[in-house]
Amino acid sequence: MNSVDLIEKSKRYLWLPFTQMKDYDENPLIIESGEGIKLKDINGKEYYDGFSSLWLNVHGHRKKELDNAIKEQLGKIAHSTLLGMTNVPATELAEKLIKITPEGLTRVFYSDSGAEAVEIAIKMSFQYWQNLGRANKRKFVTMTNGYHGDTIGAISVGSIDLFHQVYGSLMFETYKVPFPYVYRHPSGDPVQTRDESLAQLESLLKDHHEEIAAVIMESMMQGAGGMILMPDGFLSGIRELCTKYNVLLILDEVATGFGRTGKMFACEHEGVTPDLMTVGKGITGGYLPIAVTFTTEEIYQAFYDHYENMKTFFHGHSYTGNQLGCAVALANLDLFQKEDIVNQVKRKSVYLEQLLSELKSLSHVGDIRQLGFMVGIELVKDKTTKEPFPFEARTGYHVTLKLRELGMLTRPLGDVIVFMPPLASTEQELKEMVHLLKKAIVLVTEKEEEPVEYEVGRR
């Protein structure tokens, strides 16, 4: 089929996630293939995968070892259920995962996406207290500006107004603790410090711990909320408070897990072990949808009993523990070891920091936040006052469109430009990508400081 026909069909039949389809109709894009850290569209134009195909990709595309792992597994079986039985790669992968996760996490519960892993963590921690006869403990504490996926449970513990507000009456209520957004508090409040935030959590737990099941939060860096790095000592402070008040800690490592931040899991930066931990995204190297909820043995044991005692965890999905996904996840973990990915990221992220520091002097770059290969560049209208660009200007969006033109793909979070290159990116590739970032930011934000054309009503 020729590319004009394909574009026409994509506009006629598809509805894309997190996409205003009017935008898509104006700027359609169809990817046909990928090689290394580049993607190619149906017209043959190449792009750097500057956001790891939405924060997933680790070793680049068409990695031989990963391709072969899937082919080999296909020669045996594609899928059988995990309900009441298991399969070979799901079992082997569980052992390998437990060996690399923080000590204390001993059990693997599979699902297919980060949001599901979060739903499972919510239901598990909720039922855990019921199974222990502590049925009052049924509330959750979350961070403002947090993101945990898009299903109803996951948005209930999330807190990004732009995405979540419209569903208000569908969600369950949570306690929200202000997240220490050091550059700018999201609501425009005065800057919240680490200690203020921890003090608010402590006073909440002091008064309400008898009715709180768990604290759920992202680990070290809030992702979709705008790439916001936690101050040192924040996560370990939270861990201490959860332990002190007998509340479970659920850490969402869906974005930060598997080397993204320069540690295998981001909580290692603070030496923290959560009671439950969710992972997804990088677990299969960005190949297939596998996610995991990890728990401690203590939580597992609270569900282990005679069937009649009604403590079973009644939750599962059709494709839980899929063999193809688990096989490629195993090959992914082998590559982590063979190619020393985590240390490589740690090393290359020092170089990346140098590259990014060149962007700091640009007149509309307000803040650059980085942990390993997880980067957010916050664009502002006025650097001194931190005044944002007007919402309607869609500055972040226009920068990413310009980037696309220049040969790199990413998605903005408002006016925060996300840079999440595949972990295997070389120093040369990082340099080229940061060069494109700089060029696009300059071209869009410094074009003679005239009012931006909003393109309202254009077709």
Ligand X SMILES: *Cc1c(COP(=O)(O)O)cnc(C)c1O
The residues binding ligand X (CB under 6 A) are 113-115, 118, 147-149, 218, 223-224, 252, 254-255, 280
What is the rounded CA–CA span in Å between residue 370 and residue 362? Answer: 17
Q: Extract the annotated binding site for substrate.
A: 147, 281, 316, 411
Instruction: Name the residue nearer to ligand X (CB basis): 121 or 436.
Output: 121
- Which token pair is 125? 């921690």
Q: Cβ of residue 226: shortest distance to ligand X, in angstroms?
A: 12
Shortest distance, CB of residue 229 to ligand X, whole angstroms? Answer: 14
Cβ closest to ligand X, residue 39 vs residue 254: 254
> What is the sign of the dihedral through the CA atoms of 160, 163, 165 and 169?
negative
Binding residues: 114-115, 147, 252, 281, 316-318, 411
Q: How far is CA 308 from CA 156, 303, 304, 312, 456, in A?
A: 32, 12, 11, 9, 62
Decide whether 97 or 115 has the Cβ nearer to ligand X: 115
Cβ distance to ligand X smaller for residue 42 or 250 = 250
What is the spatial distance between Cα 258 and Cα 52, in angstroms, rounded to a whole number? 13
- For the CB of residue 357, give the shortest distance to ligand X in the complex, in Å: 26
Of the two residues 163 and 245, which places its CB atom closer to ligand X in the complex? Answer: 163
Phi–psi pair at 359, nearest 5 degrees = -80, -15
Q: Taking the complex as a whole, how short is the minimal distance between the CB of residue 447 and ligand X, in angstroms? A: 32
Rounded distance, CA 422 to CA 372, Å?
11
CB of 320 to ligand X, least distance (A): 14
Of all residues in the shown chain, the one whose CB is closest to ligand X is 114
* Binding-site residues for pyridoxal 5'-phosphate: 114-115, 252, 317-318
Report, in Å, the least distance between residue 290 CB and ligand X.
10
Category of 56 on φ-ψ map: left (φ > 0), alpha (ψ -120 to 50) or beta: alpha
Nearer to ligand X, 110 or 147 (CB): 147
Cross-strand bridge partners of residue 248: 214
Nearer to ligand X, 218 or 270 (CB): 218
| CB-nearer residue toward ligand X: 140 or 389 | 140
Q: Which is nearer to ligand X, 239 or 402 (CB)?
A: 239
Q: How far is the CB of 38 from ligand X (least distance, A)?
A: 23
Smallest distance, Å, CB 147 to ligand X? 6
Residue 113 Cβ, how far from ligand X at the closest point, in Å? 4
**Taking the complex as a whole, how short is the minimal distance between the CB of residue 255 and ligand X, in angstroms?**
3
Q: Which is nearer to ligand X, 114 or 412 (CB)?
A: 114
Spatial contact of 445 and 395, defined as CB atoms under 8 Å apart: yes
As a whole number of angstroms, the distance between CA 227 and CA 408 comes to: 19
Tokens 């949808």: give the residue. 289
